[in-house]
Amino acid sequence: MNSPMDQSAIERRFDEFLRTESLKMTPQRRRIFEKAFEVHDHFSVERMYEWLKGEDGPAVSRATVYRTLEVLERGGFIEAVETGRGEVVYEHVLGHEHHDHMICVMCKRIEEFQDEEIEALQRKNAERLGFVMTGHMLRLSGICGDCADELREDGRLEEEVARLR
Amino acid sequence: MNSPMDQSAIERRFDEFLRTESLKMTPQRRRIFEKAFEVHDHFSVERMYEWLKGEDGPAVSRATVYRTLEVLERGGFIEAVETGRGEVVYEHVLGHEHHDHMICVMCKRIEEFQDEEIEALQRKNAERLGFVMTGHMLRLSGICGDCADELREDGRLEEEVARLR
DNA sequence: GTCAGTGCAAATACTTTGCATGATA
DNA sequence: TATCATGCAAAGTATTTGCACTGAC
């Protein structure tokens, strides 16, 4: 699946963003940025660090990964997704519609979904509470089809679901 | 506002839970448990630790607070609420209906709300994705009425909202 | 040439753990 | 009396920061 916006267009935006913030384009930033848009998957700081370490190119330290992801987030290029218990992964944003996440507690697979009805109800509740809503995070957790099948074969699905609920 | 279940009834449940798990009732556990149900507010590990340190009674170490909150969570007496960016606070559960949270990004105030329509839509989405849903977390963030008023006085509301969005 | 960015190692913040001691059932 | 729980300090883990050096503009 390709993004509706191609790599070079996104890169131009990044250049632009750096310029407006008087930040500099460095090989490290470029590597991190490109990797973030090349993968169509969620990644942690550690994962990004390992990816870059395993490939050719200028070395990138953990500190720089932290610092750069912060810049990318501030610029709206990536977004942090809390997967639970303090764990954070990132996903690139440009060319993607807003969406929420459904995470498999067994294999950690992350599915995305959108539901305008839910969004509308969120806004309604915020308003009722007298808040100006600026953001939200909705995360569903459960057992994905594949993992459920495996458990079902062993007759352990009910048990697991009960334990998790 | 009082819970529909009184303190002693909750405490009996705790005794029972400890017994079924072959755990022991200690002064430390009792202090933490009672404080968790006495306050009608969300608390962090650190906050609980500080509360107990400031009051009479047997000393409670940080390690014990961590360990006991884990026990209370496992027993379904309290629930962890992620307030964002890895921060976790707890709230007591018994006698409270399930609810979601709306957090003020300025003063950190937490409001609770319930919306059965949202719950139903969540279940629908999970099903569509082929998941057996076992849990969810919905957190709205924004600026509460009071903080919004303050910003409005200074004419900085629009600006802040734009920055946060 | 100036200012920002980088790597490194140290510092920080938060949480968990091993172990000797003490308390509960 | 047999566990189990506690406090303490040490060890993890994840992230941030100070600083000297390097590199982009």
User: Does B138 sit within 8 Å of A165, measured CB to CB?
Assistant: no
pLDDT tens for the 165 residues of chain B, in order: 444 567 788 999 999 999 999 999 999 999 999 999 999 889 999 999 999 999 998 989 999 999 999 999 999 999 999 998 889 999 999 878 899 999 999 888 999 999 999 999 999 999 999 999 999 999 999 999 999 999 999 999 999 898 888
Domains in chain B (CATH in brackets) are 1-97 (1.10.10.10), 98-165 (3.30.1490.190)
User: Are A94 and A5 spatial neighbours (Cβ–Cβ below 8 Å)?
Assistant: yes
Span A45-74, average pLDDT: 95
**What pTM value is reported for the model?**
0.89
Q: Is the pLDDT of residue A4 over 70?
A: no
Which nucleotides in chain D have some atom under 7 angstroms from a protein Cβ? 3-9, 14-18, 23-25
In tens, the pLDDT along A104-113 reads 998 889 999 9
**Among A4-8, A98-102, B94-98, B112-116, the least confident range:** A4-8
Burial class (CB in 10 A: 0-12, 13-18, 19+), B11: middle
Q: Is the pLDDT of residue A2 over 50?
A: no
Helix B45-53 × helix B27-38 angle, to 10°: 110
Q: Is the pLDDT of residue A17 over 80?
A: yes
Span A154-165, average pLDDT: 90
Structure confidence at residue B86 (pLDDT): 87
Structure confidence at residue A117 (pLDDT): 97
Average pLDDT of the residues of chain A: 92
Structure confidence at residue A3 (pLDDT): 45
Contacts of B18 (CB under 8 A, 6+ apart): B24, B25, B29
Query: By C-alpha distance, which of B4, B62, B60, B6 is closest to B31?
Result: B60
Long-range contacts of A8-12 (CB under 8 A, 24+ apart): A10/A37, A10/A77, A10/A94, A10/A95
User: Are A107 and A146 spatial neighbours (Cβ–Cβ below 8 Å)?
Assistant: yes
- For chain B, the residues whose C-beta falls within 8 A of a C-beta of chain A are 82, 84, 86, 88, 102, 104-105, 111, 113, 115, 117-118, 121-122, 125-126, 128-145, 148, 157, 161, 164-165
Long-range contacts of A152-160 (CB under 8 A, 24+ apart): A157/B132
Structure tokens at B136: 């969810």
DSSP classification of residue A109 = -
Give the type of residue at A146.
Answer: D
Q: How far is CA A64 from CA A33, A36, A165, in A?
A: 12, 14, 40
Reported confidence tier of residue A140, pLDDT bands at 50, 70, 90: very high
Structure confidence at residue A5 (pLDDT): 60
Contacts of B59 (CB under 8 A, 6+ apart): B52, B53
Q: Is the pLDDT of residue A95 over 80?
A: no
Q: Cβ of residue B67 near strand C, that is under 7 Å?
A: yes
Taking the alpha carbons of A21, A95, A127, B37 in that order, is the dihedral positive or negative?
negative
* Nucleotide with the nearest C1' to A69 CA: D15
User: Does A143 sit within 8 Å of B138, measured CB to CB?
Assistant: no
User: Are B120 and B131 spatial neighbours (Cβ–Cβ below 8 Å)?
Assistant: no
Structure confidence at residue B163 (pLDDT): 85
* Nucleotide with the nearest C1' to B62 CA: D7
Span A144-150, average pLDDT: 95
Q: Cβ of residue A83 near strand D, that is under 7 Å?
A: no
Contacts of B98 (CB under 8 A, 6+ apart): B114
